[in-house]
Amino acid sequence: MLTEIYCDVDDFCKTQRSLIAKALRYCGAYKKVHPSQLTLSEIMTILIYYHLSPYKNFKVYFQRHVLTDLKRDFPDLVSYDRFVALIPRTLIPLMLYLANRCRRSLRTGIYYIDSTPLEACHPKRVHQHRTLKGFASWGKTSVGWFFGIKFHLLINHLGQIIHVRLTDGSTHDANPKVLFHLTDDVVGWVFGDKGYLLNAEKQAFVEEQGRVFFAAKPRQGMAPSGLPLEAKRWAKKRGLIETVIGQTKQVCNLEHSRHRSSTNAFVNVYASLVAYSFYERKPMAQVNITDRLLTSGEPDWVLAA
């Protein structure tokens, strides 16, 4: 697994070197970067591999596993303090690499959408929280209030990530801009929970003249949705995305509230999502699809109801 991750990350860094440099210049980050013994791809690999390891503490992982067991794989390793200082320079490359991994996911025509909170701290400590100040905000879910950011996710029925969007905690699940971004290059059915019920105007904006069929679970007392029989069967598999979110949090260590800088907090989020894309035991839904799989670049195909 480590070799697979490194080869893929290194190929991306080499082929997209100009794109990474352009993105860094555009945002004005890292104007003065001291050279390091470790290459960018090696730093990214160590960060991604941490989220697939059984360790839940990065310092313990680096000192007990990387500096000992991975010494032969990374002969130019640096100390823990130096490595922590190198982490911020991987933020933009990780964002670009995650987008690259998402583009490789199969466009199957059946998608599930949901969001989950990433708490910045306990609600009682909000008044003294500083790490995600300016990014985090109050939000409410079905289980109560939280202070942090929101993680919006679109997956296919194979458990692969199609699109990801991070917003502040107050952003509604059915925000048209977020939905438009998540369904930008997909064609077919998108299933969500009650939080994704849209009025006629928003649904017309998101569906874009029949390119996407958006279906949300009706609330109690509402009229039946009138979906085709096959679509109703696919909608019953919506619990798949809850399993995917659970694996990103529990297996890939997506969420914790011990960050000391906002940059490292977002690095942790993107590295964990990249790690999930390498996860071999992804959950998937057993659905019957008679049509061929849809790949990006074939926008003229619409899934038959």
Q: What is the 3-state secondary structure (H, E, C) of 87-146?
A: HHHHHHHHHHHHHHHHHHCCECCEEEEEEEEEECCCHHHHHHCCCCCCCCEEEEECCEEE
Average pLDDT, stretch 118-147?
84
Is 62 inside any structural domain? Answer: yes
Q: Which domain holds residue 195?
A: 107-258
Question: Do residues 92 and 178 share a domain?
Answer: no
What is the tens place of the pLDDT at every residue in 31-88?
555 556 788 889 999 999 999 988 888 899 999 998 888 888 888 888 888 888 888 8
Is 38 inside any structural domain? Answer: yes
Is 272 inside any structural domain? Answer: no
Question: Do residues 130 and 221 share a domain?
Answer: yes
Question: Do residues 87 and 18 share a domain?
Answer: yes
In this prediction, what percent of the chain has a pLDDT beyond 70? Answer: 83
Domain CATH for 243: 3.30.420.10
Is 287 inside any structural domain? Answer: no
Question: Do residues 83 and 158 share a domain?
Answer: no
In the prediction, which pLDDT does 293 show?
37
* Domain count of the fold of the chain: 2
The pTM score is 0.83
- CB atoms < 10 A from the CB of 298, how many? 11
Question: Do residues 122 and 93 share a domain?
Answer: no
Question: Do residues 133 and 238 share a domain?
Answer: yes
Question: Do residues 73 and 178 share a domain?
Answer: no
Please report which confidence band the pLDDT of residue 98 belongs to, taking 50, 70 and 90 as the band edges. Answer: very high
Question: Do residues 148 and 225 share a domain?
Answer: yes
Distances (CA, A) of 299 to 184, 192, 257: 11, 22, 41
Question: Do residues 133 and 80 share a domain?
Answer: no
